């Protein structure tokens, strides 16, 4: 399997009290929080790529350059879409966008890297060693 340009993904949720700016401590208002929009964009991206990887591989997000352009109230559906625009070895670049029922709410680019799970986790665990 391999990741190719044009690969698309989608993830969606409903705005509720647990994914507002208030819940994320990223603002004082009860609207869809930017950190949750970012997470939805990443979810669309990694879930679309995962079936195209070899067993024991995953991707990790390394960059997210986005704008959050429109607020979404509690109770409204939101979704994110991703598209792989560049494959450079293990480095993947995606176009990402988020929408609510009234239109575009955010957009930008996202970078992920293909990693080997065990090697990545071993390196991470090494931080706990003296």
So which residues are the catalytic ones?
Answer: 34, 42, 68
The sheet with strand 77-88 has its strands ordered as: 8-14, 77-88, 91-100, 103-116, 57-68
Q: Give the C-alpha distances (Å, rounded to integers) separating 69 from 9, 91, 130.
A: 21, 27, 45
């Amino acid at each position: 399997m391999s990741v190719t340009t044009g690969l698309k993904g989608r993830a969606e949720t409903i705005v509720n009290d647990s994914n507002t700016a208030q819940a994320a401590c990223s603002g004082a208002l009860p609207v869809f929080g930017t950190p949750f929009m970012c997470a939805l964009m990443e979810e669309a991206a990694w879930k679309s790529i995962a079936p195209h990887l070899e067993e024991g591989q995953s991707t990790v997000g390394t960059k997210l350059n986005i704008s959050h352009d429109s607020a979404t109230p509690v109770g409204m559906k939101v979704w994110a879409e991703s598209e792989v625009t560049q494959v450079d070895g293990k480095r993947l670049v995606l176009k990402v966008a988020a929408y609510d029922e009234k239109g575009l709410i955010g957009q930008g680019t996202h970078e992920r890297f293909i990693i080997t799970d065990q090697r990545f986790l071993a390196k991470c665990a090494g931080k706990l060693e003296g």
